[in-house]
Amino acid sequence: MSIAASVLDAVRAEAALQGGGRVTRAGLRIGELSGVAVESLRFCLEVLVADTELAALGFEIEFAPWTRRCRGCAAVFRVTDARPACTACGSGDTEAAGGDQMELSFLELEEP
């Protein structure tokens, strides 16, 4: 719920920065390691926008997978089944590369 409220704060703040036009769509990028479950976020957003000026706003939520980078061959690979070893060369020497995003990725606005 707090995350959803922060999403709406971010939408309102960015919309104001863009001239204050009515927001029709908003994009979110949510990483697999962000600690946020996309379905419950979607539900909370719907509850929070009801009866506000954002009631008609549609959210497009893009899922950003958990990735690591190989220190040996530099491949960036998706981590499946929590296996940290490089999927290209098999090396176990890998580092975190992505999946913690929780970002507003775009806004679609009507001309103010």
Partner 1 sequence: MLVPLERKVLNENDRIAATLRQRFQRNGTFCLNLISSPGSGKTALLERTLAGFDAARRVAVLTGDIQTDNDARRLARYGFPVRQISTGGACHLDARMVERHLTDWPVDELEILFLENVGNLVCPTSYDLGEEARAVLLSVTEGEDKPLKYPATFHHADLMVLNKIDLLPYVPFSMELARENARRVQPEIEILEVSCTSGEGLERWNDWIERHL
CA atoms within 13 A on the CB side of 48: 18
Size of the site for Zn ion (CB under 5 A): 8
Interface positions, 42-81, toward Zn ion (CB under 5 A): 70, 72-73, 75
81/65 Cα distance (integer angstroms): 12
- Helices 2-17 and 38-49 cross at an angle (nearest 10°) of 60
- Please pick, from the candidates 50, 55, 80, 111, the single residue that binds partner 1 as defined by CB under 8 A: 111
Q: Which does 89 bind (CB under 5 to 8 A by kind): partner 1, Zn ion, none?
A: Zn ion
The site for Zn ion (CB under 5 A) is made up of: 70, 72-73, 75, 86, 88-89, 91
